[in-house]
Amino acid sequence: MARTDQTERRRGGRFVRRTMTTLLVAGLALAGLVAVPAGVAPAAAAGGITEESHARYVVSKKGKVTATVTTTITNVTPDRGNTYYYWDAYGIGVPSSAKNLRASSGGVDLRISTVDSEDPNIRWATAGFSPLRYGRSRTIEWTYTIAGDPIRSDRWARVGPGYGTFAVFAYGDEGRTSVEVDAPSSMTFDATARFTPDTEGKRTVYSLDDHIEDVGTWAVVSLRDHERSDEREIEVGDTSLTLQAFRGDDAWLYFAADRVSQGLPVIEGLTGSDWPGDIEVIREDVSPQVLGYAWYDETGREIVLAEDLDEATLFHELGHAWFNEDTVRERWLSEGLTEVTAFRVIDSLDGKGTPRKAPKRDGKGAVALNKWSDGGGEARETYGYAASYTVVEKLLGDLDDETFTEVVRSAVAGESAYEPAGSTEHRFGTVDWKRFLDLAAERGGVDGTKVFRQWVATGPQKKQLAERADARAEYERLDAADGDWAAPYTLRRAMTVWDYDEAGEVFEVLDPLTVEASALQEAAARTGLGVPDSIRAAYEDAGSVSDLTEVGDLLPRTTDTLEQVHAATEAVAADRDPVTELGERVLAAEASATEAAEALASGDLDRAQLAATETTERADRALWVGIALVIGALVGLALLVLVPWLVVRRRRRRRAAVLTEPRVVAVVAAPGVDGEGTDGDGTDGQGTDAERVPAEPSVS
């Protein structure tokens, strides 16, 4: 299904099978035998005519389509004796809505008759003329206008202000047919074949001369002028959208506004994230009826829907804002997720829609979904869409909304099933079918191996599914064996990308390490100290086998250090006699224990071991240090009391000795003696001067 603008990027859409004329085949009226001898039956002329046909369709901006089909036929069936062959009528197919139908040849109008065909969209128009004998040619020019059929009628031709969809047809021999569509350049052009555009001024002529075997040149085209629409603006939360409908189609505007307003929040809830779409317009168009599918166009910033009031298609296209080639790699996965989500929305809103039935795995158009891509014909498309829905519904259909959302959110976010939910630390690009299968298992608890083997995987990929089963069993065993820790990154990465050779190498190295990791966690829980964050990170973030080898030496050493720090801390924390407690305080044993614990928490094992050893030694010396301190304190106290007492006592003894020893204090003359303290005889009453004793200074 070709498009004229190949640079336009359109997301996958919802394929809708339409009832449409596949081929418009011209009718030929074969005349009877003329002037034959009696008893001779007329002969049939098989392929005895050549046909050349050129059709031109002119589209006006106001919504009128005028068709001109010029056909030249030549009788190439020679006469045979008295038998000759001629044509006196020729017919073409015209749209059922064709008006003002005329046929002329050589400037003369021909008589025309019309009859219905098996297809309600086509009527056969036949023009009569005088017999066309061997070697003669006739050119017939057909003209008519295409009125179009009512919107949402069973017939599919549409013509109106700013839009149109109709069949273009030129029946004839290979290399002798062509079609042109002359339309305003402002109109978007789509078709079921690859036309060549030629723009001149405000008009563009789209040409096609591809030949369909035994038919001619044929296609269905669609044109749309976006400026000639009825519009309505709607607000859904923080999202603003413009709805564009055919002129006068109020029913479609109401339908779209109501369903988008109610359905968009439900999709946001089911996908676990806000509306991410760079979409500004949702418009009604005839192109989906021509191409067979609606679409989500990120480049044009629009969703294009048919005139049908189809909830499933509307919610499907809205879902492509989340599920597209940027979030999920395979086409079937994008289409399956959008379809399953759409019907969850319909169920939530009590809407209307019928899910696709599971196709036969070996039916028409069947293919392993991983080989399904754009194109391949209607049967392949019909199968692909139905099978995509079937697979995703089988995987996620029985999940409650919360679990469904977790699987879908993880897929859209590009997460790995082997990383913590919501983690953005490690990214592995767009989710493919392998990672989605793992996400369904890890986030949803669903084993989709059987479903993928039946519907999705090719032959070689089925072998990968078997390898995956063995690898996941070993992964789950080792992941359980290492306690609450995540498996090392090197293994998580290998499992994410299905590199089971690398995973096997990691398994061998990791097996004994899980025992050490579990023992360390048990020791941490028992002692209450906790595993150092850096040690756990060294295990969980190990990016290679060599990194894991280093971790192999680190884990048991950490366990020993943790036990050592715990023993030292317990020794200090234990209730002990006051003398020992005194020694611990003096030795700062508690501070040393704290240092050991802090060093352990930071992952500095060397410092933690040294501090723990020092703590233990201080705790062992604490009693003797305490005793020494007590004795020293007593001695000090004794000295403090005794020395002052001895000093006071000595002073008292000296003072007593001074007071009891006899001493001459002074010699004083008696009162009444002449002279300066002497008797009348010149003496002082105490003897001669030589007998005097000098007075000593007084002592007080």
In this predicted structure, the answer to whether residue 574 has a pLDDT above a threshold of 90 is no
Do 259 and 302 share a structural domain?
yes
Looking at 611, 630, 649, the residue that finishes a domain is: 630
Residue range of the domain that includes 679: 662-700
Looking at 410, 438, 455, the residue that finishes a domain is: 455
Q: Give the distance from CA 641 to its chain's centroid.
A: 85
Do 345 and 297 share a structural domain?
yes
The answer to whether residue 611 is domain-embedded is yes
The answer to whether residue 606 is domain-embedded is yes
In this predicted structure, the answer to whether residue 593 has a pLDDT above a threshold of 80 is no
Do 85 and 55 share a structural domain?
yes
Do 264 and 192 share a structural domain?
no
The answer to whether residue 74 is domain-embedded is yes
Do 666 and 692 share a structural domain?
yes
Contact call for residues 323 and 273 (beta carbons, < 8 A): no
- Mean pLDDT over each residue of the chain, to the nearest integer: 84
Helix (H) or strand (E) holding 373: none
Do 281 and 184 share a structural domain?
no
The answer to whether residue 497 is domain-embedded is no
The answer to whether residue 478 is domain-embedded is no
Do 295 and 148 share a structural domain?
no
Residues 180-224 have pLDDT tens digits of 999 999 999 999 899 999 999 999 999 999 998 878 999 999 999
Domains held by the chain: number = 4
Do 320 and 342 share a structural domain?
yes
According to DSSP, residue 88 is labeled E
Give me the CATH number covering residue 375: 1.10.390.10
Looking at 194, 224, 254, the residue that finishes a domain is: 224
Do 417 and 312 share a structural domain?
yes
In 3D, which of 3, 27, 53 has the Cα closest to residue 217?
53
The answer to whether residue 498 is domain-embedded is no
The answer to whether residue 535 is domain-embedded is no
Look up tokens 């039946």; give the residue. 454
d(CA 156, CA 392): 32
| Strand stretches in 13-77, DSSP E | 27-30, 49-59, 65-75
| Strand stretches in 295-356, DSSP E | 295-297, 302-305
Residues 431-464 have pLDDT tens digits of 999 999 999 999 999 999 999 999 999 999 999 9
d(CA 552, CA 558): 11
Residues 33-62 have pLDDT tens digits of 232 232 322 333 336 899 999 999 999 988
The answer to whether residue 2 is domain-embedded is no
| Strand stretches in 258-397, DSSP E | 281-284, 295-297, 302-305
3-state secondary structure 486-502: CCCHHHHHHHHCCCHHH
Residues 76-120 have pLDDT tens digits of 999 988 888 899 999 999 999 999 999 999 999 999 999 999 988
Do 351 and 258 share a structural domain?
yes
Residues 234-258 have pLDDT tens digits of 999 999 999 999 999 999 999 999 9
Residues contacting residue 567 through CB under 8 Å, at least 6 positions apart = 612, 616
Do 185 and 135 share a structural domain?
yes
Do 682 and 558 share a structural domain?
no
Contact call for residues 67 and 144 (beta carbons, < 8 A): yes
